[in-house]
Amino acid sequence: MKKIRSLQILVYLVFGSFVLRAVAIGALQGLKEGYGDALSMNDDSFRQGTAINTVINGNYLTNTPNGELKIGDKYILENVRIMGDMRVNHNKVDTPYIAVALKWILILGITIMAGMVAYNINRVIKKISDGSMFDRDCIKLINNVGALLTFLSLADYAYQQLSYLEQSQLIQAPLRVINTTAFDYSSFICAIVAFIIAEAFKQGARLKEEQSLVI
Amino acid sequence: MPIIINLDVMMARRKMSLNELSDKVGITISNLSILKTGKAKAIRIETLEAICKALDCQPGDILEYQ
């Protein structure tokens, strides 16, 4: 029983860490900077926009058309990219509000989905420990985990694309934002594994039913 | 299913109820009922042996192939 409980706590810790890493840090930074802006409004200091973590092409830094950086006689660094927190003056550039709204919806969706995945996994663990894993409810829970992981990877990709679109709107020439979006195949592969496990449990349920009819 | 279980026929001949047979054989009434209604997927040799002993009959008296 202790082992099962420890496993369930571990599941919540892992998914909690995932949510913190993916969502909370950026949201907290936004809230802090927003709070900081509110504090500075009283003394009419110049207000700049929220810092956006971005990757831009290195042409601006290397002053070469191909973004190359020659280091001594031996080395040439190509495809130079600069990664940093960009501050954009909101007075001169329009903020795509629809993108910000969609991003917040995706953040909320990703947080809820991650929580539901953790909850469903813990219910499966409970069923396995009770010895009732070869029933329809357990198979349905595992399928739900697979579906949620699929939606989670899609939502994460959509969030990345929206972030890139937002940056492209805010950061313009002479700077060029590099598209660093990447589909999270690890979550998708985990979803496929979950579906395969659900099929295996389905066969187990069928064998269990047959076994119960062996007198 | 081509195999027919004539358990109820043998029970009637021996004038034995399901409860009595269940006590003699050591199988639950629900399992005997599954056997009687032909829903069973398989029967263990030891179970068949116990039923034949309780009903004093041959396996062929209980199992029939059509």
Tell me the C-alpha distance between A96 and A90, whole Å.
11
In a domain, B62, yes or no: no
Say what the pLDDT of residue A69 is. Answer: 85
Tell me the C-alpha distance between A27 and A18, whole Å.
14
What is the average per-residue pLDDT within A46-54? 65
Kindly indicate the confidence band of residue A52, based on its pLDDT and cuts at 50, 70 and 90.
Answer: confident
Asked whether the beta carbons of residue A215 and residue B39 sit closer than 8 angstroms, the reply is: no
Say what the pLDDT of residue A78 is. Answer: 86
Kindly indicate the confidence band of residue A115, based on its pLDDT and cuts at 50, 70 and 90.
Answer: very high
Contact B60, B6 (CB under 8 A): no
Q: Give the residue from chain A lying closest to B43, CA to CA.
A: A215
What is the average per-residue pLDDT within A33-57? 61
For the cut 70, the answer to whether the pLDDT of residue A148 exceeds it is yes
**A97-130 vs A136-170: helix crossing angle, rounded to 10:** 160
In a domain, B15, yes or no: yes
In a domain, B45, yes or no: yes
For the cut 70, the answer to whether the pLDDT of residue A35 exceeds it is no
Q: What is the residue-wise DSSP string for chain A? A: -HHHHHHHHHHHHHHHHHHIIIIIHHHHHHHHHHHHHHHHGGGTPPP-PPPEEEEEETHHHH-STT--EEETTTEEE-S-EEEEEE---TTTS---HHHHHHHHHHHHHHHHHHHHHHHHHHHHHHHHHHT--SSHHHHHHHHHHHHHHHHHHHHHHHHHHHHHHHHHHHS-TT--B-------HHHHHHHHHHHHHHHHHHHHHHHHHHHHTB-
Say what the pLDDT of residue A194 is. Answer: 96
For the cut 70, the answer to whether the pLDDT of residue A190 exceeds it is yes
In a domain, B28, yes or no: yes
For the cut 80, the answer to whether the pLDDT of residue A25 exceeds it is no
In a domain, B9, yes or no: yes
In a domain, B61, yes or no: no
For the cut 70, the answer to whether the pLDDT of residue A107 exceeds it is yes
In a domain, B63, yes or no: no
In a domain, B17, yes or no: yes
Our count of domains for chain B comes to 1
Please check whether residue A214 touches B, CB under 8 A: yes
The CATH number linked to B8 is 1.10.260.40
Structural domain of B20: 3-56
Residue of A181, A152, A155, A174 whose CA lies nearest to A54: A181
For the cut 70, the answer to whether the pLDDT of residue A33 exceeds it is no
pTM strictly above 0.95: no
Residues of A in contact with B40 (CB under 8 A): 213-215
- CB nearest to A213's CB, from B27, B41, B47: B41
Asked whether the beta carbons of residue B34 and residue A210 sit closer than 8 angstroms, the reply is: no
Residues of B in contact with A213 (CB under 8 A): 34, 39-42
Instruction: Compare A163 and A35 and report the one with higher pLDDT.
Output: A163
Residues of A in contact with B27 (CB under 8 A): 215
